[in-house]
């Protein structure tokens, strides 16, 4: 459905402070290249912020938007392009506007951390949603009713979500495929040295566990079981039994491949989960402690300080204050 000029598809990109620059560039450049290669203005885009003021990217590049979200209209698509926190000064007003746009036929999308505001507005309930692996645990903890996936992007009816980075280019090329055809789409992809247009069935190629590059099937299985049992941690004896080893054998393999004991590694993974929740959600500290498998908030605080040298409350305050804000 076109809400603006009938021959032009109009796309809005709502930025929050700390958005990833590569994600925005990959999205816009796809539309720009389409116009240039076809010799027609087939796509138009508008950069939006909450109030029309300057927005800073995660690399501190300042972007002057075309308008504020309150003045957004005649959009075929609106993508929320977000960063770590996606803080809006008046989040309820942004949510109201997003729901309003959805009711009037605008298709809504979230790119990178932009999926969080959509989910908080209740606009992803009952939809498949692509979530970057780095945000995955925090997102699932906060939004258990959203069908989060590890695919590069998801197009589910009138919701379009993307893990971000160069996957933004794949999503936009997929959206334009009916209008442009395969030849033009492939030419755009080649223009950006993008050898293959990935589709909605492609999985994200990097995961936290995959990055470990463990050369032991037993240790890999144990690490996977740990990741699947954070809130209610497995006893090491039970863990060893599930991978077919004795406790002593498991400890030996962990020392060889990861340089630490299973107990130390497991605790570190639980604290990493807690740190993600501190950074990417608004959960209270008591719920974060439980989600990371700690029986009490005091035990969690002590363990966290031993690992990171600061308390969870100190880190939460620092991490939130350190997000880019416009100081002009």
pLDDT at 321: 56
68/158 same-domain check: yes
Residue ending a domain, choose from 136, 161, 191? 191
pLDDT at 213: 53
pLDDT along the chain (328 residues), means of 10: 64 90 89 87 92 87 90 90 77 90 93 91 92 81 86 91 88 85 77 76 60 71 90 94 93 87 92 83 87 91 88 74 42
Q: Residue 172 has which token pair?
A: 């936009």
Taking the CA atoms of 297, 302, 306 and 309 in sequence, report the sign of the dihedral they define: positive
DSSP E strands in 136-211: the ranges are 147-149, 153-156, 159-162
Residue 118 in contact with residue 108, Cβ under 8 Å?
Answer: yes
Domain that holds residue 228: 210-321
CA angle, 11 as apex, 101 and 49 as ends, to 5°?
70
Residue ending a domain, choose from 133, 162, 191? 191
CATH number of residue 75's parent domain: 3.40.50.880
Residue 69 in contact with residue 50, Cβ under 8 Å?
Answer: yes
In a domain, 93, yes or no: yes
Q: How far is 103 from 80, CA to CA, in rounded Å?
A: 17
CA angle, 151 as apex, 88 and 83 as ends, to 5°?
20
CA angle, 58 as apex, 36 and 165 as ends, to 5°?
50
- C-alpha distances in Å from residue 267, one per residue of 5, 29, 69: 56, 43, 43
DSSP E strands in 176-308: the ranges are none
Q: How far is 232 from 223, CA to CA, in rounded Å?
A: 15
Rg of the chain over Cα atoms, rounded to whole angstroms, equals: 22
144/93 same-domain check: yes
Work out how many domains the chain is built from and give that number. Answer: 2
Q: How far is 115 from 162, CA to CA, in rounded Å?
A: 8
135/73 same-domain check: yes
Q: How far is 147 from 140, CA to CA, in rounded Å?
A: 9
Is residue 124 classed exposed, middle or buried when 0-12, 13-18 and 19+ CB atoms within 10 A define those classes?
Answer: buried
DSSP E strands in the chain: the ranges are 9-15, 43-49, 55-56, 62-63, 67-68, 77-82, 107-112, 128-130, 147-149, 153-156, 159-162
pLDDT at 84: 66
Residue 56 in contact with residue 291, Cβ under 8 Å?
Answer: no
In a domain, 205, yes or no: no
56/168 same-domain check: yes
Residue 3 in contact with residue 75, Cβ under 8 Å?
Answer: yes
Q: How far is 158 from 285, CA to CA, in rounded Å?
A: 35
Q: Residue 126 has which token pair?
A: 């009952």
Reduced to 3 states (helix: H, G, I; strand: E, B; else coil), residue 248 is: helix
Q: How many helices (H) and strands (E) does the chain have?
A: 12, 11
φ, ψ of residue 72 to 5 degrees: the values are -75, 125
pLDDT at 177: 83
CATH number of residue 272's parent domain: 1.10.10.60
In a domain, 177, yes or no: yes
In a domain, 198, yes or no: no
Q: Taking the model in full, what pTM does it have?
A: 0.68
What is the distance of C-alpha 88 from the center of its chain? 17
């Amino acid at each position: 459905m076109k809400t603006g000029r009938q021959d032009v598809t109009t796309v809005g990109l709502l930025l929050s402070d700390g958005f990833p620059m590569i994600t925005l560039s990959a999205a816009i450049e796809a539309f720009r290249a389409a116009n240039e290669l076809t010799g027609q203005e087939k796509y138009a885009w508008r950069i939006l912020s909450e109030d029309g003021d300057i927005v800073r990217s995660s690399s501190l590049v300042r972007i002057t938007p075309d308008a504020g979200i309150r003045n957004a209209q005649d959009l075929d698509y609106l993508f929320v392009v977000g960063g770590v926190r996606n803080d809006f000064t008046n989040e309820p007003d942004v949510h109201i506007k997003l729901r309003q746009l959805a009711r009037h036929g605008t298709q809504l999308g979230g790119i990178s951390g932009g999926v969080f505001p959509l989910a908080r507005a209740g606009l992803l309930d009952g939809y498949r949603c692509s979530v970057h692996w780095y945000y995955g645990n925090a997102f699932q903890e906060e939004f258990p009713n959203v069908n989060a996936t590890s695919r590069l992007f998801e197009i589910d009816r009138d919701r379009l979500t993307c893990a971000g980075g160069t996957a933004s280019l794949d999503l936009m090329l997929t959206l334009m495929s009916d209008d442009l055809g395969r030849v033009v789409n492939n030419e755009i992809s080649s223009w950006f040295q993008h050898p293959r247009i990935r589709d909605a069935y492609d999985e994200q190629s990097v995961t936290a566990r995959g990055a470990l590059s463990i050369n032991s099937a037993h240790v890999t299985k144990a690490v996977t079981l740990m990741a699947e049992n954070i809130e209610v941690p497995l006893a090491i004896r039970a863990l060893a039994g599930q991978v077919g080893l004795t406790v002593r054998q498991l400890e030996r393999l962990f020392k060889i491949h990861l340089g630490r004991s299973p107990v130390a590694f497991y605790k570190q993974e639980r604290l990493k989960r807690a740190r993600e929740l501190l950074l990417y959600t608004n959960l209270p500290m008591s719920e974060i402690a439980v989600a990371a498998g700690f029986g009490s908030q005091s035990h969690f605080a002590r363990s966290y300080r031993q690992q990171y040298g600061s308390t969870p409350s100190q880190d939460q305050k620092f991490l939130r204050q350190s997000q880019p804000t416009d100081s002009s």
